Amino acid sequence: MEQLINEIRPGYSDRIINQKLQTPHRSLEKPYTHHFNQSEEYFLEVPEPFVVPRFPIHHDVREAVPRTDYSNALHDFIDSMLPLVPDFFSDLTYFFDPAEIQKPCFYRIYKIGERYFLFLLRINLQYRPLEHELLERGSNDFTAVYRTNRLYLESDCIPLEAVLTEMGKIVSFKIHQTISNTWIGETGKGYLVRGIWIDTELTKFFTKLFIAEGQRIYPYYPFTCKYKTICMTILGPTPDRRRQLLPYLEGALQFLEPHLGKIQQTLKTSTFSENIPLFQELRQKVNGNFKKLWTNLTVTAYLNRQEQKEFRIEF
């Protein structure tokens, strides 16, 4: 996936994988559960472990088509994954991202009125030594082979300006940018210099605005600042769940766009707080239907086997 300033270009699409995605699979009787780790990464815990095979590492990002051994490994992984979460993929299309070969991409385009939305699902296959069972060590040329029952996901709905095509083939998703540069500056000296951005503060502002006052759903943020726009993170992104929530993303965009300039200026000079006058003013104007969406969502914190904090999400 080539990502430009306000554009995502879907790469090579594998016909065999797309056929596999459309093949009906029966779900396991015991369902998966939803979790976040202490780094706020979303993952599913599935009832049966699956094996992630070895993938070639040294891939030239200028090559738009994956190597045969990469494609074969991905085919094997898809075969083991689909029976565990078949309801995610039945209407999605795969494409290859040469810049991040360990994050296979799947997408679908939606249209509400005159506005397009891109649903982008990325599976993170990176080996995590503390969480995964190592079967074969990695090398300079290939990734490790491991077994796990955790499937890490990034599932975002992104508003688009347009879907560009050539000869009937999609070549670009032009993102509907609503947010200017979120860079503030940097702090520290020498090797300790780090950048300061307001993406996280904007994400907190957007999410807190649309959930019930006093409700705590951390580390889940339904509305996020990504790609210089307002996106929605969907948990358990089945086709029905996506169709249910997309209109709320459209509604949030319509509500927020007239105020984004003021919101950005406010957060560039202070960290987010629910006591910010602008936040309190806007909260009073939010349609109550938004706040009902996550009323039944609960977050339970626990310690994993390494005694690290994790969170289980139920909804």
Q: Which residues contact 214 (CB under 8 A, 6 or more apart)?
A: none
In the chain, which residue ranges form alpha helices assigned H by DSSP? Answer: 15-22, 68-81, 86-89, 199-210, 239-256, 260-269, 277-283, 288-292
Using a 10 angstrom Cβ sphere, with 0-12 exposed, 13-18 middle and 19 or more buried, the burial of residue 18 is middle
CB neighbourhood size of 43 (10 A): 21
pLDDT (tens digit per residue) in 191-234:
544 545 689 999 999 999 999 999 999 999 999 999 999 999 99
Q: Which pLDDT value is given to residue 30?
A: 65
Q: Where are the domains of the chain?
A: 2-314
Q: In this structure, are strands 309-314 and 194-197 parallel, antiparallel, or unpaired?
A: unpaired
Q: Over its length of 315 residues, how does the chain's per-residue pLDDT go in tens digits?
A: 444 458 899 989 999 999 999 887 665 566 899 999 999 999 999 989 999 999 998 778 888 899 999 999 999 999 999 988 888 888 999 999 988 899 999 999 999 988 999 999 999 999 999 999 999 999 999 999 999 999 999 999 999 999 999 988 899 999 999 988 665 555 555 554 454 568 999 999 999 999 999 999 999 999 999 999 999 999 999 999 999 999 999 999 999 999 999 999 999 888 899 999 999 999 999 998 998 899 899 999 999 999 999 999 998
Q: Is the dihedral of CA 146, 238, 222, 312 positive or negative?
A: negative
> Quick one: how far is CA 46 from the chain centroid?
18
Q: What value, to the nearest 5°, has the Cα angle with vertex 137 and ends 97 and 71?
A: 30
**Side chain identity at 252, as an amino acid letter?**
A
